[in-house]
Amino acid sequence: MDTKSLTETSKFLSYVLRHEPEAIGLALDREGWASIDALIAAAASHGRVLDRALIEQVVISSDKKRFAISEDGSGIRAVQGHSTPTVSISMQEKAPPAVLYHGTATRFLESIRQQGLLPGSRHHVHLSEDVQTAIGVGQRYGQPVVLSIEAATMHGKGQRFYQAENGVWLTANVPAEFISFTPASHGER
């Protein structure tokens, strides 16, 4: 299986499992699960040929471990990043490390200074434990910049944090007072 097909299929799966399941007439349950058989059938009826081997290959090779297959092997879901209102994954609250990072683009900084970090169309603001990941995330939107978030202080003041299966940290929003706009050192973890 070539990398291009895997990336293309991964993007398609992100689209239907995080954002627009209805675009192919697929139903996700509250926890975000779709039946793999139903996914294959729904995709086929919209002109995209998938099979189980391809889906498994995408799940295994995903650099960010974006998807999970259910224990009994019948279902698949995206582990974070949703915008569809039909999904609300139940997650355990977890105490975050002292500092987490958020990658964004310089053109958003002025607005972030004023409003803090907002989830946009997704369910949460996404944070990472390492600077490198945050740089990659920010690069998708332009000149990247990494913001340091005083996560433990926020948590101490009652803000809830969650960690998705793939390690991405999630929270509802980050008020500007907890954001350091000084570029994080790339030497940090």
What's the farthest any 2 CA atoms get from each other in the chain? 50
With respect to ligand HQG, which residue has the nearer C-beta, 33 or 169? Answer: 169
β-sheet bridge partners, residue 68: 77
Give the end-to-end CA distance of the chain in Å, rounded to a whole number: 33
> For the chain, what's the residue count?
189
Q: How many helices (H) and strands (E) does the chain have?
A: 6, 9
Q: Does residue 82 interact with ligand HQG by CB under 6 A?
A: no
**Interface positions, 106-145, toward ligand HQG (CB under 6 A):** 108, 111-112, 115, 117-118, 120, 122, 126, 137, 141
Contacts of 26 (CB under 8 A, 6+ apart): 16, 34, 38, 39, 42
Is residue 34 packed enough to be buried (19+ CB in 10 Å), middle (13-18) or exposed (0-12)? Answer: buried
With respect to ligand HQG, which residue has the nearer C-beta, 7 or 153? Answer: 7
Among 32, 50, 66, 101, binds ligand HQG (CB under 6 A): 66
- Cα–Cα distance measured from residue 75 to residue 156, given in angstroms and rounded to the nearest whole number: 37
Q: How far is the CB of 112 from ligand HQG (least distance, A)?
A: 5
**Interface positions, 21-40, toward ligand HQG (CB under 6 A):** none
Q: How far is the CB of 124 from ligand HQG (least distance, A)?
A: 9
With respect to ligand HQG, which residue has the nearer C-beta, 52 or 64? Answer: 64
Number of residues that bind ligand HQG (CB under 6 A): 18
The binding site for ligand HQG (CB under 6 A) comprises 14, 64, 66, 81, 104-105, 108, 111-112, 115, 117-118, 120, 122, 126, 137, 141, 168
